[in-house]
């Protein structure tokens, strides 16, 4: 995945002006009982806010609600280098948050699509400098720990990058019916029976 850079935020960096950043997390999973789509937005900001950004999966501009005030605690290190390696990322969430508890207990998080974005501000002016896509992938696991008395109450999403799509085998069979969808292509017309043919090579067929 190529790292995208917001032009406005980059111009501020090049002027060596300070930027204040907040991380945004958008998760799209399904309800355990019904299988219906369910989504949740969290961020490291101070309040609940409707934020407009470019969806990393579809590219469309969307406005979605993100819950802040300690719901999302942090994101582990994200490695940037060339290659098709499936890279893991750990996202730490508050286990005392009603929104987080609902997402991990009521919804099925495994396999859910994940987007991480970065929202930048100019601290002197308090204005938004732009939203930049950071990472996209899938939830690979969401263990729910039970902290010891007096311990930290947090949950982790164990995620893998979207390169995992390259490891999924192609389910479509190479059949005549599938080949025929390409403008009536008959290349595999005898696929089902050709293995049963007895073709004499180099000898006269006595039958």
Residue with tokens 């495994």: 110
> Which residues, in sequence order, are CB contacts of 103 under 8 Å at separation 6+?
27, 29, 38, 40, 109
12-52: pLDDT as tens digits: 665 666 677 889 999 998 888 888 888 989 998 888 999 99
d(C-alpha 200, C-alpha 103), whole Å: 64
Instruction: Please state, for a pLDDT cut of 90, what percent of the chain lies above it.
Output: 15
Top-confidence residue, 13 or 99: 99
pTM tops 0.85? no
- The 3-class SS string of 30-83 reads EECCCCCEEEEEEECCCCCEEEEEECCCCCCEEEEEEECCCCEEEECCCCCCCC
| Cα radius of gyration rounded to whole Å, the chain | 25
């Amino acid at each position: 995945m190529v790292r995208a850079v917001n032009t406005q935020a980059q111009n501020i960096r090049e002027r060596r002006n300070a930027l204040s950043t907040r991380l945004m997390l958008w998760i799209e999973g399904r309800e355990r009982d019904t299988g219906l789509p369910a989504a949740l937005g969290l961020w490291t900001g101070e309040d609940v806010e409707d934020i407009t950004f470019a969806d990393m999966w579809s590219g469309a501009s969307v406005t979605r609600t993100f819950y802040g005030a300690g719901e999302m605690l942090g994101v582990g290190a994200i490695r940037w280098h060339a290659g098709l390696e499936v890279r893991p990322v750990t996202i730490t969430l508050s286990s005392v948050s009603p929104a987080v508890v609902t997402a991990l207990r009521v919804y099925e998080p495994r396999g859910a699509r994940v987007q991480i974005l970065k929202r930048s501000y100019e601290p002197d002016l308090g204005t938004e400098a732009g939203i930049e896509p950071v990472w996209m992938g899938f939830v690979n696991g969401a263990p729910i720990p039970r902290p010891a008395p007096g311990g930290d109450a947090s949950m982790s999403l164990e995620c893998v990058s979207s390169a995992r799509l390259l490891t999924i085998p192609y389910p479509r069979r190479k059949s005549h019916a599938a080949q025929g969808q390409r403008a009536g292509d008959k290349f595999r017309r005898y696929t089902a029976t050709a293995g049963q043919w007895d073709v004499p090579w180099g000898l006269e067929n006595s039958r």
